[in-house]
Structure 1
Amino acid sequence: MDATHSFRINIAIDGPAGAGKSTVARKVASALRYIYIDTGAMYRAVTLKALESGISTDDDSRVGQLADELDIVLLPGSESQQVIVNGENVTSRLRTLDINRNVSYIARLSRVRKRMADLQRRMALEKGVVMDGRDIGTHVLPDAELKVFLTASPRERAERRFKELEADANLTLDELEKEIAERDRLDQEREIAPLRQAEDARLLDSTGKTVDEVTEEIVQWGLAAARTLLAEEK
């Protein structure tokens, strides 16, 4: 491994639902030998537990208390990151239609966002992480050495999510596209850390591009950022 690879930076990848952030971020982390942190999965874990507990998705106090009590651990897996909540692997239950429809409401709650952001910042202290979400570059890691805003057309994002749902495929593609548009609106209009492109983020539209093509572009940006910082350190 050369000096550029050993000089570790933090990479923030933001973007709307279905843009491919998690898949790309995981592959970028693997290529650079960094740690991947799926922040969306953390919010999904809180959403899962709130729904299971019968707590209203707009009850900031009760959901916030729940989030404070959850022990969320992210572990690497062969296919995807494994999410452990209070010792239980909940990974397979985080991509259902019910979670998709409620996670934006949970993510708008101030106590939940504060708790998750605190956990995420601790994970990034040692550098060498790739973190994806909706407010990483603007709020969680504003000092990240590389920020990317990854997007795609609403239709393409809907098609990607449609393939994920499998058991819930009774939802039509057009209906899913409308739900994604509504989630975009909720994420962009929330008061706490709304979805937006950081001023110093690089815009990357993945429409019509393969995962490998997008991954390689971000990897090269990451290596270039590391080289620049390494040169400045000398």
Structure 2
Amino acid sequence: MIVAIDGPAGVGKSTVARLLAGRLKYLYLDTGALYRAVAWTVLQRGVDMADQKAVAALLPLTSLKMEFENETVVVRVNDKDVTGELRSPAVSASASVVSAIPAVRAWLLPVQRSIGERGSVVAEGRDIGTKVFPSAPVKFFLEADPTVRAERRHRELVAAGHAREIEQTSTEMAGRDSRDRSRAVAPLVPAEDAHHIDTSRLSAAEVVDLMMGIIAAKL
């Protein structure tokens, strides 16, 4: 059983996916963390991410693993735990850029699908229902008001110790939305059979309750 959750930043995908995976006792696959790990690698190596050939050349030299330890997701790059470094503003912005590179998406696709083969999975990202797991029996597309999304993302950054003006967060999010929706390969679009949920006025628990009702009909 694979549950696919897609949507832009700030709609609550990660929180909801973790809660849902816990309720179902499924693995939680955060595909965004994989793209962030590639972005982290590019930044660490000092490679110009606008140089697609240079970024692609890094991939064969990179070992990327996603491990599940006591219900916690750990991402390792060349055996280094980089989990705590993946949600900085710099990595977030860079992830949006590298995710538009066809070679990166092609390289990560089998990595994501291999995790889906480990057992039942709740997978969240931006092309789960359209590209990674197009045959998933249950798909969701989360949406929210742009102002609400910016506020959520801003609180997350501040809590993680990244000082930010909310206007800057809003501008960065709008830029990422534009890149994600307009990229040539696997753009951010809802799957035709996805269930749409507006999370603007819902708590994470309320969203999960809605999802559980839909999933129950498939089990």
Equivalent of 2:185, from 192, 195, 198?
A: 192
Residue identity matched to 1:28: L
SS of residue in 1 equivalent to 2:217: helix
Letter in 2 for 1:75: E
Please report how far the alpha carbon of residue 182 of structure 1 lies from its aligned counterpart in structure 2 after TM superposition.
1.3
Gapped regions of structure 1 (runs ≥ 5): 1-8, 227-234
Secondary structure of 1:168 counterpart: coil
How far the C-alpha of 1:124 sits from its partner, in A, is 1.2
> In the alignment, is residue 210 of structure 1 matched against residue 196 of structure 2?
no
More moved, 158-167 vs 108-117:
158-167
CA drift of 1:51 comes to 0.5
Q: Identity percentage over the alignment?
A: 39
Matched, 1:86 2:86: no
Residue pair 1:137, 1:143 contacting (<8 A) in 2 also? yes
> How far did residue 75 of structure 1 move?
2.5
Q: Secondary structure at the match of 2:167?
A: helix
- Letter matched to residue 145 of structure 2: S
Q: Does residue 95 of structure 2 align to residue 120 of structure 1? A: no
* Per-residue Cα deviation, 1:195-225 (whole angstroms, up to 9, x for no partner): 0011100101100111111112112222211
3-state SS of the aligned residue for 1:76?
strand
Secondary structure in 2 matching 1:81: strand
1:219 aligns with 212
Give how far 1:80 is off.
Answer: 4.8
Displacement, 1:126?
Answer: 4.7
Question: 1:120 & 1:32 partners in 2: Cα distance?
Answer: 20
Where in structure 2 are the equivalents of 1:23-42 lying within 5 Å?
A: 23-42=15-34
Q: Which amino acid aligns with 2:162?
A: D
Residue 12 of structure 2 corresponds to residue 50 of structure 1 = no
For residue 142 of structure 2, the aligned residue among 150, 155, 178 is 150
SS of aligned partner of 1:108 = coil
Structure showing greater radius of gyration is: 1
Match of 1:136 among 128, 133, 137: 128
Runs in 1 of length 4+ with deviation above 4 angstroms?
77-80
Partner of 2:157: 165
Partner residue in 1 for 2:5: 13
CA distance in 1, matches of 2:156, 2:135: 33
CA distance change for structure 1 residues 27 and 77 in 2, over 3 Å: closer, same or farther? farther
Gaps of 5+ in 2: none
| CA shift digits 1:105-147 (9 cap, x unpaired) | 1100001001111111122135411111001101111000101
SS in 2 for 1:220: helix
How many residues in Structure 1 have an aligned counterpart in Structure 2? 217
